[in-house]
Structure 1
Amino acid sequence: MFDFLVPLHLCERSIQPLNHTVALKTDGTLWAWGGNNLSQLGDGTTTTRNTPIRIGTANDWKNIAATGYHTIAIKTDGTLWAWGRNTHGQLGDGTTTTRSTPTQIGTATDWQTIAAGENHTIAIKTDGSLWAWGNNNYGQLGDGTITNRSTPRQIGTETDWQTIAGAGLHTVALKTDGSLWAWGDGTNGQLGDDTFLAKTIPTQIGTDTDWKTIGHGRYHTVAI
């Protein structure tokens, strides 16, 4: 797929802070606090909370990811749940409707790993396949387009994805062979491919196969 620069009218560079926190306790309960103007806490309100508040009564939460104004979570049974802002389809429920409580996404029970970008979501299933949905104006979903997706869409056909990190407008991932991959917004060099261009499909960064851990800021990436 070709490199490209995105026209300015497609850009979304919000200056609002990323202002909420979610956490799991050892007993599997879900807690959240902070900004809640778009129901990103999941407590059924839009009330800001300055101390941790328990979300629902379930005690089978396993993994969580939150950034921007939406939250994604996986339960121990492999089901996928989401809530908060949904203007770009980043919750994955086939709508653009904001959800104020955890909402199950589809019926699949094989979700393993999740990550959240500013307005997009990325996930890996237990078979190692890669999935993405939500905002895609910089190609951050990796499906070769700049079309938003409101339901999970498989990215490519590979089944060797291991770790993912969703940043503001770009995505970074590791494969099981230790190789490093990135796609989406590259205007600040955050993809690491020696360009300042966006990429719409997963692009290998260098040839090293000893990458272990990845992390990100909104406009930069770090790795070990």
Structure 2
Amino acid sequence: MDLMKWPIFSLLEPEFVCKIKMACVYGNLGNEAVVVTKSDEVFAIGSNAAGCLGLGDLQSTLYPKKVEALCNKNVKGFAYGSGPHVIAFTETGEVYSWGHNGYCELGNGSSNQCLFPTPIGANLSGKEVIEVACGSHHSLALTKDGEVYGWGQNNCGQVGSGLSTNQGVPRKVNSHIGTKRAISIACGQTSSMAVLENGEVYGWGYNGNGQLGLGNNVNQMNPCRVPNFQGIVITKVVCGYAHTMALSDVGALYVWGANSYGQLGNGNRSTVTSPIHVASEIGRIIDVAATHYNHISAAMTQNSKVYMWGQCRGQNVTSPTETPFTSLHDVFACFATPSVMWKPMEVDADAGEKVTDSLKLAFDDPSSSDLTITVSGTPIHVHKAVLKIRCQHFRSMFQDHWEEDSRSVLEMDQFSYQVYRAFLQYLYTDEVNLPPESALELLDLANAYCETQLKRRCEQIIKQGITVENAVVLYSTAIAYEAKELEEFCFKFSLNHMTAIIETEGFTSLDEQIVKGFIRKAAKFGAFKS
């Protein structure tokens, strides 16, 4: 998964990105983020609404700043609410909170905004928290012993205390669950869900859209078991804004709740108050994703295909739609509104080199090359297979009945060394690194080899790199290579800067015939009318 798919990270230096091992994007516009580095440092970036970056102030930042209170704490995960407020837990099970606190969602016994990550001690001291979840303004924590604790806004019973008053500190959710162990928790905007180790599912809080799966629209102050799962073992539940998805141990997907945007994936947009089985046609599902910030759903199948449905960038998609993505995170980066993460994204430190990186390193590497192309006596080491894959010209050249296919050295003299090397490097990297003057010769090569994409790239380099100093040189070169469209572009640019261009060294060194043609053409456009 590429972090750069998230706009908030677009200004990060590549060196810094390489150090990241976990990231979480949140905020009402997807404009806040916190990252953990491989050296166990924590940084935050973004607009800092309600002090949710944990930097000790309310100042926004375009570049990452260190969150001192969380550095060297071995942070394992984050959850966030709509305030926004943020909850973090560490390797040892400690819990920290910061940000908006108008509904006691930080669990520190007050309702005052907190600008620094602060440990939550009350009732969690001595407990090892292994998972946290947040709704809009309430929070849940799951301990290693399978206990669930809730705190924050409780107007709909989402804390599970049996009351409707806000809960200032963590309180164990006991009613109806009793001594049964929970293995997973999730929050909608104002609802809560828990999965027990025996596969049962419990829900509590707001139920106006049937998101608790109880077959009605009645809010619940205490956890209630979701019916209709007899003989079915649920292993995971995720919540959207007002819908819920549950995944069974055999890869079956069940959904219920709000469906105005098609987020249930059952082919229509009608609310469902009890669990229904959907998406059986896409095969066994191994993971599902949703977040209380939006109305989008995603799933990954056993054969690693990623599907999405719901509110996808303003479109209402009512059935699972296959994507070209390889990660559930891609769905939320590209199609969710706002573009926030459904859970913290772990960056694989041992992923190794990408194919593109390996290809870049292979270019002009004599140790692995099976073909040497010489231009003006200078060798360039390449690989026949790569050239055949990337270029039709070479696919035609390297055939059994052609002499070139059996040779290990080829001489090229049609183009300059600099340009031909740039062309071969483009086949390995998809990048062109030439000045505008040389890009015209590369454009001629692209024309000869029928490389349409490369032609567009050359034209872009020339148009974006034209200046008063090089305009007439580009103009005369375009004439030489019969690049009519670029010739016209360079002429019009020169016409708009006529006085300055006539005074350049390039203009005085132009071929006499080109100068005459330029003047005649300029006269037709009225350049010399008084």
Q: TM-score, normalised by structure 1?
A: 0.88
Q: Is the 8 A contact 1:181 1:204 kept in 2?
A: yes
1:128 counterpart (199, 211, 222)? 199
1:87 is aligned to 2:162: no
Query: SS state of the match for residue 267, structure 2?
Result: coil
Which whole-Å CA distance do the structure 1 matches of 2:82 and 2:131 have between them?
23
Distance 1:67 1:86, change over 3 A: same
Which whole-Å CA distance do the structure 1 matches of 2:259 and 2:89 have between them?
33
Match of 1:223 in 2: 299
Which whole-Å CA distance do the structure 1 matches of 2:296 and 2:104 have between them?
28
Match of 1:144 in 2: 215
Distance 1:126 1:176, change over 3 A: same
1:55-134 equivalences under 5 Å are: 55-56=120-121, 57-106=125-174, 107-134=178-205
Distance 1:131 1:209, change over 3 A: farther
Identity of aligned residues (%): 27
Structure 1's unaligned 5+ residue stretches are 1-15
Match of 2:286 in 1: 212
Q: Is the 8 A contact 1:80 1:109 kept in 2?
A: no
Number of aligned residues: 209
Q: Is the 8 A contact 1:132 1:154 kept in 2?
A: yes
Which whole-Å CA distance do the structure 2 matches of 1:135 and 1:166 have between them?
13
Root-mean-square deviation over aligned CA pairs: 1.6
Regions of 4+ moved over 4 Å: none
1:109 Cα offset (Å): 4.5
1:195 is aligned to 2:247: no
Q: Is the 8 A contact 2:183 2:196 kept in 1?
A: yes
Q: Is the 8 A contact 1:27 1:59 kept in 2?
A: no
Which whole-Å CA distance do the structure 2 matches of 1:102 and 1:108 have between them?
18
Please list the CA deviations of residues 137-191 of structure 1 after superposition, one character each: whole Å capped at 9, or x if unmatched: 0100001000111111111143500111012111111111101121100001111
From the two aligned structures, give the one with the greater helix fraction: 2
From the two aligned structures, give the one with the greater strand fraction: 1
2:115 counterpart (44, 50, 53)? 50
Please list the CA deviations of residues 9-31 of structure 1 after superposition, one character each: whole Å capped at 9, or x if unmatched: xxxxxxx9441111111111011
Looking at CA atoms only, which structure, 1 or 2, has the larger radius of gyration? 2
Which whole-Å CA distance do the structure 1 matches of 2:118 and 2:159 have between them?
22
The structure, 1 or 2, with the larger RCO (C-alpha pairs under 8 Å, 6+ apart) is 1
Q: Is the 8 A contact 2:82 2:137 kept in 1?
A: no
Match of 2:104 in 1: 39
2:245 counterpart (151, 158, 172)? 172
Match of 2:399 in 1: none
Q: Is the 8 A contact 1:111 1:124 kept in 2?
A: yes
Distance 1:18 1:178, change over 3 A: farther
